[in-house]
Amino acid sequence: MNGFRHASGRIKRKNIQIVVTEGLSEEIYLDRIRLMFEGIPIHTVNAGGGDLGKLKRECSKVLLERERWDMLAIVTDMDEKSVSEITRFDDWCKHNGVELYLSNPSFEAFLLMHYQDVRGSMSQSDLEEALGRHLGRKYDKAKGIRPTERSVTEAIRRAEHSLPKNVDPIAGVARFGGTTNFHKLLGKISDSLKQ
């Protein structure tokens, strides 16, 4: 059991960061982050696709099973979703106590931020082609990238810089390509280790 000894001698369970991911690339990345930084209490649930209905169904299952102090988040992206769909989905998340982390056009924007700035005009194929150049092989979602502490720091810096200022993070990411707020989830998970 993950935890630490409470003053009474009992084991106190650490809060778990439960993350429902849209697909494989997000799940693989978070699993690698968990392995890189020992003690991160992340549990991923792959919803098997970016359909908002699937994400809601998986979240609803987790909401019934989780401990009340566990954080629940969804990681998804904008491809094939409209701004109004994301806005309604964000409202659903807020109503249910679920945190939403979004990338535009896809999670590969955040992955590419490990290596370079991401232009708002980059399509999914542009992102994958650029990742392939950096990796020295064709980018494959099932293989992902191998993050390092340095590349994660760079990705977080670039992601923070990509967010429009004075705009709600979800609305900003939904409207502008080459953006993400996923780095805020990494910050929250990192903060949980300091508690």
Contact 176, 120 (CB under 8 A): yes
Distance in Å from the first CA to the final CA of the chain: 17
Residue with tokens 């064709």: 138
Radius of gyration of the chain (CA): 17
Distance CA 157, CA 139 (A): 23
Q: Report angle CA 79, 82, 88 to the nearest 5 degrees.
A: 120
Domain boundaries, the chain: 3-193
Q: Each residue's pLDDT tens digit in the chain (195 positions)?
A: 233 223 333 334 457 789 999 999 999 999 999 888 776 788 899 998 879 999 999 999 999 988 888 889 999 999 889 999 999 999 999 999 999 999 999 999 999 999 999 999 999 999 999 999 999 999 999 999 999 999 999 999 999 999 888 888 898 899 999 999 999 999 887 776 665
Torsion angle, alpha carbons of 111, 104, 123, 53, to 10: 100
Cis peptide before 105 (omega within 30 of 0): yes
Please state the pTM of the whole predicted model.
0.88
